[in-house]
Amino acid sequence: MEWQGKPGSGAFQWNRGGWFGGQFGATAWMLVLGVVLLAQSHPVGAWLVLIGALPNVLGFVLWKRRHSLAPFPALQALVAACGLSAGVAWLCISESGPAAESGFSAGLLLMYPGLLVWFFLMERSARRARTNPTSAP
């Protein structure tokens, strides 16, 4: 198997499909909505494209530096950046009007801190299992 980056000490390892799939999956809605609003000459469209592009730039930078970065802290930074961008995008949408029409709820933004906590618990559990392996009967 090809070594793709600095090995992680827990549950998370560098993986191209997981990295870019999560990155694009978390930001695609901002980019698509921004392009749709730009096509309708709505001024917030350009902001959404910019806001959606920022976590992608960070994701590419982190990926390029994967040989010197541990995967878990890099993933946490990317998820936090996607969450922050989603929050700013929601504010732009809600202040400009399209949010009322789309039915987009701010409650959806809770998935980002939820993912951060879930990933932390997964990482901690995997690290504990590696340092204190249970003996087989």
What does the alpha-carbon distance between residue 36 and residue 45 come to, in Å, rounded to a whole number?
A: 7
The residues, ordered by sequence, that sit 6+ positions from 133 with a Cβ below 8 Å of its Cβ are: none
Short-list 52, 73, 63, 61, CA closest to 9:
73
Q: What is the pLDDT of residues 77-128, one digit of tens each?
A: 999 999 999 999 988 888 776 555 555 677 788 899 999 999 999 999 999 9
The reported pTM is: 0.85
Each domain of the chain, given as residue ranges in start order, spans 16-129
What does the alpha-carbon distance between residue 115 and residue 137 come to, in Å, rounded to a whole number?
A: 35
82 versus 137: which is more confidently predicted?
82
Q: What is the pLDDT of residues 42-79, one digit of tens each?
A: 889 999 999 999 999 999 999 999 999 999 999 999 99
The residues, ordered by sequence, that sit 6+ positions from 94 with a Cβ below 8 Å of its Cβ are: 100, 104, 106
What does the alpha-carbon distance between residue 123 and residue 113 come to, in Å, rounded to a whole number?
A: 15
